[in-house]
Structure 1
Amino acid sequence: MRQRTDCYCNELRKAGRRLSARYDAALAPAGVNVGQFSMLRQVDHAGEISLTELGRRAELDRSTVGRNARVLVRGGLLDSAPGADRREATLRLTPQGRETLAAAFPLWTQAQAEIEAALGRDAAKALRRVLNGI
């Protein structure tokens, strides 16, 4: 029996892996991958943020956020300190984290432009609209 193979989830996951690989390659000169870049941007926008709030904004579970944050703390890009209630850590960029983000941002911008050019502006806008609707 022939089974249907056009699963939306599988196709989105494959596309996500391909896009992540493109962004990772683009960001490599700055020493971060796209997930790390995204986390640095979220922390930068917030100034200081708890792991729980960061997970909420990034739509990631707290354990994933904690694991990813530990890598950036060990790398000297983020500083972790006890939060106001001492039960949860808060994160903020270190000076090295700011430098890394400043170096990575133009690389990310270029990757964005290349992807939009490959898709075409209208298709890129339509894709963003469809993805935001999921």
Structure 2
Amino acid sequence: MPTTERLDSCNCFASRKAARLITKMYEDHLAPAGLTSSQFALLAHLDEAGSASIKELVEALAMERTSIVRALQPLERDALVDQAVDQNDARRHVISLSAAGRERLQQAIPLWQEAQAEFERIFGAGLAQQMRESIRGLSS
């Protein structure tokens, strides 16, 4: 059943639908590594940042706190991330990538690159870059 005219002209609906379809594409590629797209983003961010608090992850990834906590649970269970008390502030907990997490990320990166290539085959590299730049503008 097609969508209604109102939904077809709605920017919010279009962007959310696109996000769901793109997420599915990436998660199909990441499935052999046993990661969701959110988990991949968390591991990739922690790999580059070194460590981060939940609050910092919320800000960096533009995700809800509950979504981050939910995505971290299996990563902690599988010992892909470590959580520790911040040495400078005992009230603050920081999450970092474990050695197993680095290995899993290295396994997932070629799968993610395949998803990137598929996206760019469908939409073109120029449009993909333009989309990323436009989205970065939303958060600044």
Q: Normalized against structure 1, the TM-score is what?
A: 0.89
Q: Identical aligned pairs, as a percentage? A: 37
Counterpart position of 1:11: 14
Secondary structure (helix, strand or coil) at the match of 2:90 reads: coil
RMSD: 1.7
Provide structure 2 residue ranges, at least 5 long, that are not aligned to the other structure. none
Once residues 44 and 130 of structure 1 are traced to their aligned partners in structure 2, the CA distance between those partners, rounded to angstroms, is 25
Which residue identity lines up with residue 71 of structure 1 in the other structure? P
After superposition, what is the alpha-carbon deviation per residue over 1:24-43, rounded to whole angstroms, capped at 9, x for unaligned? 01001111011100000111
Which residue identity lines up with residue 25 of structure 2 in the other structure? R
Q: Indicate conservation of the 8 Å contact 1:49/1:90, yes or no.
A: yes
Once residues 130 and 49 of structure 1 are traced to their aligned partners in structure 2, the CA distance between those partners, rounded to angstroms, is 26
Q: Indicate conservation of the 8 Å contact 1:51/1:88, yes or no.
A: no
Counterpart position of 1:60: 63
* Equivalent pairs, count: 133
Once residues 38 and 30 of structure 1 are traced to their aligned partners in structure 2, the CA distance between those partners, rounded to angstroms, is 13
Which residue identity lines up with residue 51 of structure 2 in the other structure? E
Query: Does 2:120 match 1:122?
Result: no
Query: Does 2:33 match 1:30?
Result: yes
Query: Does 2:112 match 1:113?
Result: no
Provide structure 1 residue ranges, at least 5 long, that are not aligned to the other structure. none
Question: How far is the alpha carbon of 1:121 from its aligned partner?
Answer: 2.2
Q: Indicate conservation of the 8 Å contact 1:23/1:108, yes or no.
A: yes
Secondary structure (helix, strand or coil) at the match of 1:44 reads: helix
After superposition, what is the alpha-carbon deviation per residue over 1:1-20, rounded to whole angstroms, capped at 9, x for unaligned? x9722211111111100000
Query: Does 2:45 match 1:42?
Result: yes
Once residues 124 and 136 of structure 2 are traced to their aligned partners in structure 1, the CA distance between those partners, rounded to angstroms, is 18
Which residue identity lines up with residue 12 of structure 1 in the other structure? S
Secondary structure (helix, strand or coil) at the match of 1:92 reads: strand
Query: Does 2:97 match 1:93?
Result: yes
